[in-house]
Amino acid sequence: AQSVAQPEDQVNVAEGNPLTVKCTYSVSGNPYLFWYVQYPNRGLQFLLKYITGDNLVKGSYGFEAEFNKSQTSFHLKKPSALVSDSALYFCAVRDGTGFQKLVFGTGTRLLVSP
Amino acid sequence: KAGVTQTPRYLIKTRGQQVTLSCSPISGHRSVSWYQQTPGQGLQFLFEYFSETQRNKGNFPGRFSGRQFSNSRSEMNVSTLELGDSALYLCASSLGTSGDSETQYFGPGTRLLVL
């Protein structure tokens, strides 16, 4: 069965600094990896996904993520954080064996201070 | 294109009652998935419907049920509500035909409070 781990409950970063939100995964087949963001009292917004191809995936709002097969990781990154990036971030994975359910990590709260 | 819509947005019920939540997917999307989000358990998958058939199911008791209509709209029902059912219920839609690479798009959720 597939699983996702987000080892940090919270990440604090100053505005203008780079940010990283960590995610590791476990699947038996090929991984399909996703990042979503959730603002207070809102649903989840899709940021980016890795299916195949380049290990560096670029997404919405300047976010990118790096797929590392050997370390089974898919960390979310942004070169320069904004206060408005403060939100709850979820990593998710599907085991690419055919119409599998999407499994989410526990979420990481990102706080960007001015 | 309009996004995923969920109604109602907020709901207060008492223990023992039942509740029905509704989800309208993005036009053209045939798959609808439901998730329960709580502070303690995080995001947990309830079930997925595609073309009016349940295609995947999570580990929830039989009190949680769903259905999908021919226009892809979906409803989920929770019977005999318990305090622990208080949660944000999220619906997500996708095309449903491209396999595991598909992106799911989420609605704003229905916040259910059980008293």
Measure the CA angle with vertex A35, ends A32 and A41; round to 5°: 140
A84 membership: H or E segment, kind and range: none
* Predicted local confidence at residue B38, as pLDDT: 94
The Cα A95–Cα A107 span in angstroms is 19
Tokens of A91: 């990593």
Q: How far is A32 from chain B (nearest CA, A)?
A: 6
pLDDT computed for residue A99 by the predictor: 76
Q: Say which residue the tokens 């995936």 belong to.
A: A57
- pLDDT value of residue B99: 78
Contact status, residue A76 vs residue A35, Cβ threshold 8 Å: yes
Q: Which residue of A has its CA nearest to B94?
A: A99
B39 has pLDDT over 80? yes
Closest CA to A36 of A27, A45, A28: A45
A83-105 burial string, b = 16+ CB within 10 Å, else e? eebbbbbbbbbbbbeebbbbbbb
CA distance B99 to chain A (A): 5
Average pLDDT over residues A4-19: 97
Which residues of A lie closer than 8 Å to B, measured between beta carbons? Answer: 32, 34, 36, 41-46, 49, 51, 90, 94-107
Distance from CA of A68 to the nearest CA of B (A): 18
Please tell me which of the candidates B4, B33, B100 has its beta carbon nearest to residue A96.
B100
Residue B96's pLDDT band, with cuts at 50, 70 and 90, is: confident
CB < 8 Å to B55, chain A: 99
pLDDT at A87 over 90: yes
